[in-house]
Structure formats: structure tokens, C-alpha cells
Amino acid sequence: MTMQNDAQSAFIESARALKKRAAPSQSLHVPTADPERRRRSLQTCHRYAATERPHRAVSHTGNGFVPELAARIEDDPNLTDGARRCARKLAELTYRQNREGRVLPVTVTYLARALGRCRRSVQRYLRQLEEGGYVAVEVVASPRSRMCIGLIVRLLAPLLAAHHRQSWPRAARNPGATPESLNHRFRLKFQGKGCSVPVNEWARRCMDGVFRSLMKTKPLTELPPIYLS
């Protein structure tokens, strides 16, 4: 009993000594909030931004729609959101223009304007889709010059839904109407002109001129000869 009282009294005495040791006027220092940091936090985290993005007018595209595609493009981690959007735009244009052949003559400039991106971004989207096996891209070479006049994009089976891989539903048309409408006579203006070349072959042809110019300077003449024993 005495030992418990001694321990309790010792604890009380130590608490008193610790309380006397602390300065009575000492108070806890609370740092004041930075007003500039507080204003920036309110503008970016808790409220709308001071300058909102300008609202652009939505272009009227009529009654066009995107056909059913495979869910694989949504789950593919190798595709960016821009590549998925480019695939939907390609499917929309192909469904509207060439529903039977599933081949779309198009230019990079047109896709860049339709998607609101630059030409380099569209080329990167097409490369991702081609590496994933969703589309096949060929370059249409001009018959008059060494330049290309467009692309031929072919939709492949992995891009399409399983029940539409064989064919899409036929468009409802008037039986007495002509098969080709003159309103769209300039739509496929470069179809049938020139020759289609694979992308890798076109890149090799574009680098041939640079390689020939490089070899004219004989860059390997300064290297020491190699003798094989």
C-alpha cells in the first residue's frame, strides 16, 4: 500500500515540476495562412477557374452517326483517347461513303480539321491504329509528281463489332434512283488515280533521295580500311 502511494505521489510531483518548468506565458504558435496561396487554392480546387475555356460552336453534321464498333478499342491500353476518337471518325466516314468496301480515301489534312488536331497528331493516331491491327493504311502516290495525294484507309476486323464483321446493313434507298449521285461526284476525287503504296514502302522511297545525296559526299572514305583474315 505504501509503495503504491509513493509511486502516485512521485508521479504527481513530476507533473508539478514539468508544469512549473514550462513558461506560463508561452503559447502554441499557429502559422498564419498565406493569402495568396489561399486565393489560388480557392480558384483551382474549390471554385470554378477565374478564366474558363471558351465555348466553341458545335458543327452541324446532319443525321450522321458512328456505327457499332468492337469494345476492344476501348480496352486497348496501347491506344490513346485521340486514337480512339480517330477510329470512330474513320468508321463514321467509311460507313457514310463506302459501306460495302469499307475502304476510305481521305487526306491527313481533312482528318486534322475534323478532329481539331494537328497533322502530326493525326499521323500518330493512324500509326497506333495500324500497329494495333485495326486499320491498314496505304499512301496514294501522284501520277504526275513524287508527292502523295492522299491515303487509303481500310477498316480491319478487330475494329468492327462481331455481328458486323462480314458486312454492314445496306442503306435504305429508292429503287428507282440512280446508283451514283452527282452531289458527291467530287468526294472520291483521287480514287483511281495514281497507285497505292504501303506506308513503309513510301517511307523508303522518300529516304532514297536523302541517301543518294549522302553517298555523293562519300562519308566512308575517311574510315580506315578493314582487312578480313
> So where are the chain's domains?
72-165+187-216
pLDDT for 203 beyond 90: no
User: Hey, what CATH class is 72-165+187-216 in?
Assistant: mainly alpha
- Three-class SS state of 141: strand
14-46 pLDDT per residue, tens: 878 877 776 555 555 667 778 888 887 777 776
The predicted pLDDT at position 172 comes to 65
Helix (H, G, I), strand (E, B) or coil at 106: strand
How far is 31 from 152, CA to CA, in rounded Å? 65
pLDDT in tens, 87-146: 999 999 999 888 888 999 999 999 999 999 999 999 999 999 999 999 999 888 877 777
What is the Cα–Cα distance from 4 to 178, expressed in whole angstroms? 110
Q: Where residue 193 falls among pLDDT bands split at 50, 70, 90?
A: low
On the question of pLDDT at 60 being above 50, the answer is yes
Task: Residue 191: name the closest of 120, 75, 105, 127 by CA.
Answer: 105
